[in-house]
C-alpha cells in the first residue's frame, strides 16, 4: 500500500472516531450537561461554538460563512500538500502530522456544514438525528460540538498582580473536541521535528 493510501486510511479512521464521539454527545446530552471522567480535572462538558478551535469564533452570520469558506479552502490546500509529500516519499512523521491536521480541520467542517441540517438544537433537550421538523440551521451554519474539558487548576490571582490581581482563573479553561486535538498534535509534531522533517523533504 502506498504512503498516500495509508494516510487516507488514517484520515478515515480519525474522522470516524471524531464523528462517532460528537454524534453520541449530540444525541445523548443537552447543552451544558457534563459528566466526570476523572474527578474534577477531566470532564465531558457539552458545548457548541460557531468558530475555530478551542471555542474561538467570528461574530455574526457573515463571520460564520467566511470562516466556513476559509476552512474549506484550507482543507483543499492541506489535502493537496498531503498528496504531494506522500507521493514524494516525505518523512513518515511529516505525513502523519499533516494527516492529523487535515483530519482535524475536516472533522470541524463536517459539523459546521451538516450538523445544522441533520440535528435539531440541544437547548433544554437531547438532540434528535434527522428530526421531522428539520434541522436547526442551514448549510454551513451548523455549530461545532465540543466536549473535552480539563480544569486542572482553579483559584485566584494574587492581589498584587497587575491587571489580573484578585481575578478568578481556571487552567485549562477552553472546552475542545477530538478534531481540535488532532490539529494540536499535528502542529506540535511539526514544530518539534521540523528540522528532521523538512531537511529530509528538501533532500
Q: Which residues are catalytic?
A: 146, 180
- Cis before 20 (ω within 30): no
DSSP 8-state class, residue 168: E
Cα of 23 vs its chain's centroid, Å: 14
Cβ atoms of 177 and 22 closer than 8 Å: yes
What does the block give as the cell for 40? 474534577
Euclidean distance between CA atoms 3 and 15, whole angstroms: 18
Q: What angle do CA 96, 16, 21 make, to 5 degrees?
A: 115
- DSSP for 137-188, please give it: S-TT---EEEEEE---EEEE--TTSTTTTT-EEEET--EE-HHHHHHHHHHH
Amino acid at each position: 500500500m502506498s504512503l498516500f493510501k495509508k494516510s487516507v486510511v488514517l484520515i478515515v479512521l480519525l474522522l470516524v472516531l471524531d464523528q462517532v464521539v460528537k454524534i453520541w454527545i449530540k444525541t445523548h446530552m443537552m447543552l451544558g450537561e457534563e459528566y466526570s471522567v476523572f474527578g474534577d480535572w477531566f470532564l465531558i462538558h457539552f458545548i457548541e461554538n460557531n468558530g475555530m478551535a478551542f471555542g474561538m469564533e467570528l461574530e455574526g452570520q457573515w463571520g460564520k460563512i467566511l470562516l466556513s469558506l476559509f476552512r474549506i479552502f484550507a482543507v483543499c490546500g492541506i489535502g493537496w500538500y498531503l498528496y504531494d509529500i506522500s507521493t514524494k516519499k516525505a518523512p513518515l512523521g511529516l505525513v502523519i502530522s499533516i494527516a492529523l491536521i487535515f483530519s482535524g480541520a475536516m472533522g470541524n467542517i463536517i459539523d459546521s456544514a451538516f450538523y445544522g441540517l441533520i440535528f435539531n438544537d440541544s437547548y433544554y433537550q437531547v438532540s434528535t438525528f434527522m428530526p421531522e421538523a428539520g434541522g436547526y440551521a442551514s448549510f454551513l451554519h451548523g455549530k461545532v460540538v465540543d466536549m473535552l474539558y480539563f480544569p486542572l487548576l482553579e483559584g485566584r490571582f494574587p492581589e498584587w498582580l497587575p491587571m489580573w490581581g484578585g481575578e478568578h482563573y481556571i487552567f485549562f479553561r477552553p472546552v475542545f473536541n477530538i478534531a481540535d486535538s488532532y490539529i494540536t498534535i499535528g502542529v506540535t509534531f511539526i514544530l518539534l521535528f521540523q528540522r528532521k522533517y523538512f531537511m529530509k523533504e528538501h533532500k
